Chain A
Amino acid sequence: MRSLLLISKSVLIEGVRRKEIYAIVLFSLILIAGVMSVDFFEIRGLTKFYREMALAIMSIATAITVIVLSCRQLPREFEKKTIYPLMAKPISRMIFLSGKLLGVLLSAAFCFLLFMIVYVAGTLYLGGTIPWMHFAEYIYLQMLMMTVLSTLGFFLSLVMNLDAAVTLGVIFYFTSSVFTTGITFIYEFMGLGGKTVLVVLNYILPQLTLFDLSGKILHSVQWPPLGWTTMAALTLYALLFSGVYYLFAILAFRRREL
């Protein structure tokens, strides 16, 4: 346990020290400030535009941070040959990978926390209200999504080179909603074979759009928060995919020659 925490701490410190999180947060803040400066025609209380843009910017920035961080962990260790002294210690590869995963998630949480403070401050400044229940659910679901992305990133970085892993991870994130809408739409156009493929794809690929509660936050007046059964189902869904990718990553890591 101690080794796991030490490894995760080193990932977190490295991420913070490399200033990349700050760079992403700073640029995101500049964008958000730009959004806030859009003329609201002297009308107070118009917050949907700001909230939607801010949530999108923050989600994208955190997701990209997580994908890049997670994809980079292992290749960097191999490239700098720092993996060898680490593996010489009495740490299993599983503990090592778990420590890395926890570190990436903590970095994501840190990034997200900075953003959420800005989001809340901005909304209150513009005269809006925060639907706290929706908001809490949103943060929780986003962190579940980051868990899926992190484990996917680890796996991809072990089976292909760094740039390809990051590219695939980013494309997967951005095309997720298109994929979800697309398969429902094209299902009717497919023959039996095609339909079977779509059904399989539906279940084997994680639908990241399920972790995006921004639509309901934005229109929270009209929509109640999610029930606990839905939240439990989404948690299980995320943990299942994270577990599968984590397992694949462990297997790939074990097979990798040092």
Chain B
Amino acid sequence: MSSPAFESSMRPPAPVYLVGKGVILETLRRKDVYVLLILSLLFVAGIFVISLVGIENAATSTFLLNLGMSLAYFFAHLLTLLSAARQIPAELENRTLYPILAKPLSRGQYYLGKWLAVWLSGVVTLVVLFLLGWLPVPRMETYSSLLLAQTFVLYVCSLALTASVAMFLSLVMPRGSSMILLALLLFAGGKIIGWIHDSSQHLPLSRVIHWGIAYIPDFSLLNLTTRYTDGIDPLSLPQFCGLILYGSIFTAFFLALGTLLFRKRSL
């Protein structure tokens, strides 16, 4: 008689996990990790130059800390965006999607597996670059450790959102356009939203406009880098939970939308 332990070990792994594993293996096979290596070398070169010229004062160390963290954020998001945006289109173009979907794997599971793998790859990139950007800078001023933890958690949320939006956009527009649009949203969206908000203050339908623009994903809400380096207090628990909820809702929405579109798409 077979034991439960034996049965559980014989159970096939979840399809989502298999798809995700496939994406990560492909990433390694394509040597995409070279990109991370090049970026890491860039950070190391920067550290070397700064160690030569020295850090004259606390203001400069704070500036370098902000720069290091911002670059880690920027590159991790950029790579996640590029990776997510090419997942489905590349599979469609190379016609490698059809044999995969012929297996007992739902489109939803496939889509979710892709998203999960891209997100995790982004998190790995973030960890590597974050350590390179944050560790070497001397702490000449006080910074909140709790806020640092909050910042990192929100970075991870932001990566999840980036991956979900990128995959959704790759289904509705050409790859180049989707990449550019999301890059604009990611790195300038906060400013653009702020500008629309301010410009529409005196308009008759300002409340409607403000409500409407709240549906545009604002990645700047999930980036606490400057707050951290400015030496400001950590976020209160309601604020922090609110931001996580914001990131989660938007990620879930774009994932759901993307899955729905992918299900209905004729291949």
In the complex with contacts A19-B174, A27-B180, A171-B42, A163-B49 CB distance below 8 A: no
Instruction: State which of A163, A168, A185, A190 has its C-beta within 8 Å of the C-beta of B30.
Output: A163
Given the complex of chains A and B, what is the CA–CA distance between A257 and B181 in angstroms?
38
Give the docked Cα–Cα distance between A186 and B180 (Å).
Answer: 36
Bitwise, A1-23 to B at CB < 8 A (1) or not (0) is: 00000000000000000111001
Whether A190 and B39, one on each chain, are in contact in the complex, defined by CB atoms closer than 8 angstroms, is no
Known: A23-B174, A164-B34, A171-B38. A189 touches B180 (CB 8 A): no
**Taking the complex as formed, is A160 at the interface, i.e. its CB lies under 8 A from any CB of chain B?**
yes
Q: Which of A24, A34, A168 contacts B176 (CB 8 A)?
A: A24
Whether A168 contacts B38 by the Cβ 8 Å rule is yes
Q: Which residues of B in the span 51-106 have a Cβ within 8 Å of any Cβ on A? A: 52-53, 82
Contact with A along B19-43 (1 / 0, CB 8 A): 0000000000011101100110010
* A and B contact pairs by CB, cutoff 8 A, 10 listed: A18-B176, A24-B176, A27-B177, A27-B181, A160-B31, A164-B31, A164-B34, A164-B38, A186-B52, A186-B53
Question: CA A136 – CA B180 in complex, angstroms?
Answer: 29
B184 CB within 8 Å of chain A: yes
Query: Shortest beta-carbon distance, B122 to chain A, in Å?
Result: 14
Extra pairs beyond A23-B177, A175-B42 (10, CB < 8 Å): A19-B174, A23-B180, A27-B177, A27-B180, A160-B34, A161-B31, A161-B34, A164-B38, A182-B49, A189-B53
In the complex, the answer to whether A163 meets B35 with C-beta atoms within 8 Å is: yes
B105-135 contact mask (Cβ, 8 Å, vs A): 1 or 0: 0000000000000000000000000000000
Shortest distance from the beta carbon of A141 to any chain B beta carbon, whole Å: 26
Q: Nearest A residue to B33 by beta-carbon distance?
A: A164
How far does the Cβ of B202 sit from chain A's closest Cβ, in whole Å?
14
| A24–chain B nearest beta-carbon distance, Å | 7
Contacts from B to A (Cβ < 8 Å): 30-32, 34-35, 38-39, 42, 49, 52-53, 82, 174, 176-177, 180-181, 184, 192
Q: Which 10 A-B pairs have the closest CB atoms?
A: A164-B34, A20-B176, A23-B177, A189-B52, A23-B176, A167-B35, A27-B180, A161-B31, A186-B52, A163-B35
Q: Closest residue to A194 on the B side, CB-wise?
A: B52
**Is A163 touching B53 in the complex (CB atoms < 8 A)?**
no
Given contacts A163-B34, A167-B35, whether A19 and B176 have CB atoms under 8 Å apart is yes
How far is A19 from B176 in the complex, measured between Cα atoms in Å? 8
CB distance from A230 to the nearest CB of B (A): 29
User: What residues of chain A lie closer than 8 Å to B49, measured between beta carbons?
Assistant: 182, 186
- Chain A residues near B174 (CB-CB < 8 A): 19-20, 23
Cα separation A168 to B41 with both chains bound (whole Å)? 11
**Chain B nearest CB: distance from A152 CB in Å?**
14
B52 and A190 contacting across the interface, CB-CB below 8 Å: yes
A236-250 CB contacts (< 8 Å) to partner B:
none
User: In the complex where A20-B176, A24-B180, A27-B184 touch, is A167 in contact with B31 (Cβ < 8 A)?
Assistant: no
Q: Could you say which residues of chain A place their CB within 8 Å of the CB of B177?
A: 19, 23, 27
How far is the CB of B118 from the nearest CB of chain A, in Å?
14
Chain A residue numbers with a CB within 8 Å of B180 are 23-24, 27
User: How far apart are the CA atoms of A171 and B38 in the complex, in Å?
Assistant: 9
